[in-house]
Amino acid sequence: MLSPERRPSVAERRPHFLSFSSQNGCPLVVPHLAGIEDPLPESTPDKVDVLIVGTGMVESVLAAALSWQGSNVLHIDKNDHYGDTSATMTVDQTKKWVKEVNDGKFSNCYTNAKLYVSAIIGSGDRGFSSRDFGLDLAPKILFAKSDLLSILVKSRVHQYLEFQSLSSFHTYENDSFEKLTNTKQEIFTNQNLPLMTKRNLMKFIKFVLNWEEQPDVWESYAERPICEMLIEKFKLERPQVFELMFSIGLCYNMSAKTPEVLQRIRRYLSSFDVYGPFAVLYSKYGGPGELSQGFCRSAAVGGATYKLNESLASFDPSTKTATFEDGSKVTVSEKLVISPTQAPKYSQNIPEQKYEIHRLTCVVGKSCEEWFSEGESAAVVVFPPGSLKSGNQNVVQAFILGPGSEVCPQETSVWYLSTTEQGPRAEMDLDAALEAMETSIVRESSSDLENDESIVQFGPNGETMINSVKLGQSFKEYIPRERLQFLLKLYYTQYTSTPPFSVVDPSFFDINDENSKKLITGASDNGVLYTAMPSAEISYDEVVTAAKLLYEKIVGSDDDFFDLDFGDDDDVPIHNANYENAIEDDDDDEDNDVDMNFDVNRQGTTELVGEMEI
């Protein structure tokens, strides 16, 4: 039975997918799919090619890839919801999860969960209900130019989901949030940047877009931290260096090496303007939990069998027989893939998860639109090393989602903070960042500042500019009169085998190889593939790499990974009508969602027009 305590599924929210209605004259091409939410009640198959345990992000992408390739997949999850380590949960589901963590149910994956929930949630009349919230266990953002995004489009899983843009990146410095200056347009019109800084910044941005071809510029810095190159070679100043490293590059500390940071800075810059004036997207109604569900759905369309509320009790490597808690059995002819959180008892080969990620998730009683760009509902705030009272050595990253993202009700927002700092210092850093955010939002949303006209000034060419010096001063002198209301606060430590700043290593999946010398003789999970826990990375970038490696382990090669042909490409609607809309409709469409089909096509035509430029 389904738990009544769950948020509406992808299918339930978008009934027109099932009813095949054609709102704008374009029938959907993804096949009809009924009842994926219902676990198969009768029986599980006797024999499958691959059994996947846990419906996290990587497992779900893998399940979809395998089932479209033709493998016979059984995909189970012990929970009554999809997502596993990437789940999007209601408040009640979160409570249950916290209890499980503290009962030691997944001691090598999560520890030290502390949860506070305000009485307002679940209190009937004026309060919020548990399912008004969708809280991500491992929140993620999606770069507009990334391998996951192309797979989302290729597999048409993006049609199950809704994406919104995120263009607000702030770097916290000197007790205030500096908004990112990263486009040529912003650099040109920014009145506070000295002329030479503009030039140096532009020079760097141009360089980074094809840095690999210019080894003469960076080779001597290859083994050194990137900040040395930014300061010596590009003569950039501290604020720009921090912005490039920590907001654009999303690095964790000062020691990040040059080539890998260049790669990450380019990731941001080349994602910009792919779908519009922003580099990053996130999915509405929840992050990786939603995406996992979408890929599971795709896998089911491709022929995979799903069973929730089912856990693996044991596995016999000699007969390749998996036995479930309900007593049923299945023969796995090729591979068994298990998420470390759902391994059966007495498993001996679960990889060591030696890196800690400390996370703090809060729901606050303010919508925080002060931090968002116009028409958007999300922001990223980065606290560089040394910027916090706690003297943090590692970055604290905060991902903020407002009510427009549909993960929380009006007048609230969800704050996800995380750090790669190890040990007890981490929680101090998280608390310091939380305090800085709290102070900032309370004074920014205070009405005292709104009436002060001298903060907004007009530049010589009529552009508005915020007098940031003035803003900074009033920030420092401001003593908050109100306190922020916390509706929920959740601390936990997550463990992962992936070191900060890297993706899962191919050798990770070799550890359990039958031929490997490290195997424990006679262990019940010899030959089992364990997936990696989510890393500290705030983007989805590791997901495809990990799924592809597992796919290669199972199929033998990754040549046909999501090599999909729906055979109806001509039917995919091309939104010609949009040009007309752009001309004849008034601006400011209320809908801020990003339509990938439309924009990909538009991209094509603008390029064509560009060729004819004078």
Partner 1 sequence: MQLKNELDLLFWSSELLFTLAQLRQFPKVYWIWNHRIWVLENHLDSSVNIWKEELVMVSKLLKIDARNFHGWLYRRIIVRKIEQLTGEKKLFEELAYTTENINNNISNFSAWHQRTVLLSKIFGENENESNAKMIHDEFAYITNAMFTDAEDQSVWFYIKWFIKNKVVRETLEPSEYARLLQELHSNVVMINQDDLEFSGKENNWCLKILIVLDDVLKNIGIETCIEKKKCLEQLINADPLRKNRYLCLLNDGQ
The contact set with partner 1 (CB under 8 A) reads 184-185, 187-189, 195-196, 198-199, 202-203, 206, 233, 460-463, 576, 579-580, 582-583, 606, 609-610, 612-614
Nearer to partner 1, 565 or 586 (CB): 586
Cα(75)–Cα(51) distance, rounded to whole angstroms?
Answer: 6
Nearer to partner 1, 556 or 610 (CB): 610
The 8-class DSSP code of residue 236 comes to -
Secondary structure (DSSP) of 163-189: EEEE--EEEEETTEEEEP--SHHHHHH
Q: What is the CA radius of gyration of the chain?
A: 25
Give me the amino acid identity at 9: S
Relative orientation angle of helices 147-154 and 541-555, to the nearest 10 degrees: 70
- Least separation in angstroms between residue 205's CB and partner 1 is 10
Nearer to partner 1, 125 or 613 (CB): 613
- Least separation in angstroms between residue 27's CB and partner 1 is 24
Nearer to partner 1, 114 or 184 (CB): 184
- Least separation in angstroms between residue 576's CB and partner 1 is 8
- Least separation in angstroms between residue 163's CB and partner 1 is 22
Cα(309)–Cα(608) distance, rounded to whole angstroms?
Answer: 52
Nearer to partner 1, 463 or 589 (CB): 463
Nearer to partner 1, 4 or 462 (CB): 462
Cα(190)–Cα(188) distance, rounded to whole angstroms?
Answer: 6
Cα(505)–Cα(517) distance, rounded to whole angstroms?
Answer: 18
- Least separation in angstroms between residue 185's CB and partner 1 is 6
- Least separation in angstroms between residue 577's CB and partner 1 is 10
Contact by Cβ (8 Å): 77, 310: yes
- Strand residue runs (E) in 250-297: 280-283
CA distances from 276 to 139, 284, 379, 541 (A): 23, 18, 16, 20
The SS3 of residue 300 is helix
- Least separation in angstroms between residue 215's CB and partner 1 is 13
**How many other β-carbons are positioned within 10 Å of the β-carbon of residue 524?**
17
Nearer to partner 1, 34 or 195 (CB): 195
Nearer to partner 1, 42 or 613 (CB): 613
Closest CA to 168 of 5, 278, 10, 295: 278
Closest CA to 436 of 170, 211, 214: 170
- Least separation in angstroms between residue 170's CB and partner 1 is 22
